[in-house]
Amino acid sequence: MKEAKTITGHTQTYCLLGSPVAHSISPAIHNSSFAQLGIDACYVAFDVNLENLDVAVEGLRKLGVKGWNVTMPDKNRMAQLCDELGPASSICKTVNTVKNENGVLRGITTDGTGWVECARALGHNPTGKRILQLGAGGAGTSILVQTALDGAKHIAVFNAKDAFWPKIEEIVASLNKKTTCKVELYDLKDLATLRKQIAQADLLLNTTPVGMIKIPGCLIPDASYLHQGLIVSDIIYEPQETALLKLARETGCATFNGMYMLLYQGAASFKFWTGQDMPIEEIKAKYFDK
């Protein structure tokens, strides 16, 4: 029988807040990383909905919990509860990682970092590239901001003209002012412009839920919109190959999904909290490459 980890009065606590969270792989990833690096810490998950977030965060602050991740539906409110925000979070107003430094809450978003580092690890560095992004809600907003901050040359964003359109317009304006990246926003229904922008793009990225098992489909009408040399990514990982990735693969495009994005998101949070690098290759072999 394997001996359980020894918890002492010196053990530091980290956690995940959101609802639901029972399915999350984050506790396994972080606890395994702590163990491999000999860090006296543990990571647990708490089901906390938006209604209870404020009181939960105040409790974590007062208890001296060292840091936490935040998932849906709590990311936007968490940004308002932090005392300091990182560069990406200050633009997109969303936080998924918090570090508690003696009661001062520092918040960042690693959603965008997760995708960027995933792309780089697979040989598709977005820096200096022309990107076409489908969707700018949730994780998509963080990815848009991070790719611009990391030096993408041009980003054409296609989004539905819904209630969130004004917020996306503000973010686009901010990125055009604060970064060297040229960002343009288009209506997702404008198929003529979509075709034109894809023809000029180096990388096509879907950040919408279209393609998930519960929301099947593809926002690209047919293969004639794609071209040789185009890299196609989807942050969805269930299914592992969405309709978009299947269409792209059959057209001869290089493709990758969002599975490793989860790994690199966690690695960025881990580094922010501990100052140490997550043992990525070991974690990847143990939890992702099965």
Name the residues annotated as catalytic: 75
Each as own residue / partner, the long-range contacts of residues 172-175 (CB below 8 Å, 24 or more positions apart, any chain) are 174/91, 175/91, 175/144, 175/145, 175/148
DSSP 5: P
3-state secondary structure of 15: strand
Residue 57, phi then psi, degrees to nearest 5: -65, -40
- Amino acid letter, residue 148: A
- Token representation of residue 7: 């918890």
- Token representation of residue 77: 């409110």
- Whether residue 142 contacts residue 88, with contact meaning beta carbons closer than 8 Å, is answered with yes
Please classify residue 7 by burial: count the beta carbons closer than 10 Å to its beta carbon, then call 0-12 exposed, 13-18 middle and 19+ buried.
exposed
